[in-house]
Structure 1
Amino acid sequence: MRRPLVALLVLSMTLSACGAIRESRMNPFNWFGGSREVPADVDPDSTGAANPLIPQRRTNMFRRDETVYLGQKLDQVTELRIERVADGAIIRVEGIAQRADAYDIRLVPVQTERPDELHFELQGEFPELTQSTIRLPRPVVVATHLTDQDLAGIRRIRVSAARNARESRR
């Protein structure tokens, strides 16, 4: 009975001492102090085009430079599936590339005149032709995720390649 009473007494004394060190530098919550309003750093050369809420990219020796995608249309689209998920849909496309060395296969969005249509091109990159390039066609699979906001008002999704196109309607 005596030990729990002593522990309770020590704990209550320790907690009451917290009020005394609340404003001191020993409290880690006071190390940076409170916030205050300061004027924003404004670049005089800037015309206000950059959004201050979007961070600018920093140079990093481990980050690759962004390059332009140099994809070419693949030969054909063999299958188009739209699979519903909790927050939208996954568009899954199977196709055939002209050569066996295709890489970085993507569904590239294409602008359309119709607001109720999404149009993609099945594209991939190819290395330069060499003597050892295998010219056999190769099946490829690529998928992309669309949110419910992306799909709002969309009635038709079309994926095209060099020789054909496939589409799915709601």
Structure 2
Amino acid sequence: MTPRILVALIVVLGLTGCATRLNPFNWFGGDREERIAVEETAVAGDPDYRQLVTQVVSLNVDAMPGGAIVRAVGLPPRQGYWEADLVEVGRDNGELVFEFRVYQPLDPNTRPGTQQSREILAGTSLSRQDLSGIRSIVVIAAQNRRSVRRS
């Protein structure tokens, strides 16, 4: 076998492996949106006074050594929302569920602004142990939820 054929064969085999489940960068596919209506309820003993962000605009899960990083972009109704976090609320039947929580602006007269100026980012890191048995990750907002599934 000539070196050119060998190199071509290695490249072809390498590229076909990119779409398999063996590639850790393909563990979670593109996000899907589902419109919902959530009524917030206070949980006894819950010290988190933040509210759900209005919408989750995007959800990404990026592989990293030892686990993954979950990133979500939320869209509140106006500028000034702060201290965004993804708060884990459930882990059941292979599904890991987070709520996207934020504090309201301190000034009630903040401007609505453009969508781009209102977007707020929240993220969390998960270890391989955290991801063990997880087939999908869901992030819930007040008006929608987004999810990603392992491919």
Using the size of structure 2 for normalisation, the TM-score is 0.62
Residues 35-85 of structure 1 deviation map (CA, whole Å, 9 limit, x = unaligned): xxxxxxxxxxxxxxxxxxxxxxxxxxxxxxxx9321101111111110000
Distance of 2:63 and 2:106 partners within structure 1? 38
Distance of 1:69 and 1:99 partners within structure 2? 21
Q: How does 1:117-156 map to 2 (within 5 A)?
A: 117-130=95-108, 132-136=109-113, 138-156=118-136
% same residue: 35
Tell me the equivalent position of 1:96: 75
The runs of 5 or more residues in structure 1 that have no matched partner are 1-66
Structure with greater helix percent: 2
What is the one-letter code of the residue matched to 1:134? R
Contact 2:79 2:105 in 1 (8 A): no
Q: Would you say how many aligned residue pairs link Structure 1 and Structure 2?
A: 102
Distance of 1:129 and 1:111 partners within structure 2? 33
1:111 aligns with 2:98: no
Question: Which has more radius of gyration?
Answer: 1
Structure with greater strand percent: 2
The runs of 5 or more residues in structure 2 that have no matched partner are 1-45
Choose which of 118, 143, 148 in structure 2 pairs with 1:163: 143
- CA RMSD in angstroms, aligned pairs only: 1.8
Using the size of structure 1 for normalisation, the TM-score is 0.55
What's the CA shift for 1:129? Answer: 4.9
Q: Secondary structure at the match of 1:149?
A: helix
Contact 2:51 2:103 in 1 (8 A): yes
Q: Larger relative CO (CA 8 A, sep 6+): 1 or 2?
A: 2
What's the CA shift for 1:133? Answer: 2.1
Residues 22-41 of structure 1 deviation map (CA, whole Å, 9 limit, x = unaligned): xxxxxxxxxxxxxxxxxxxx
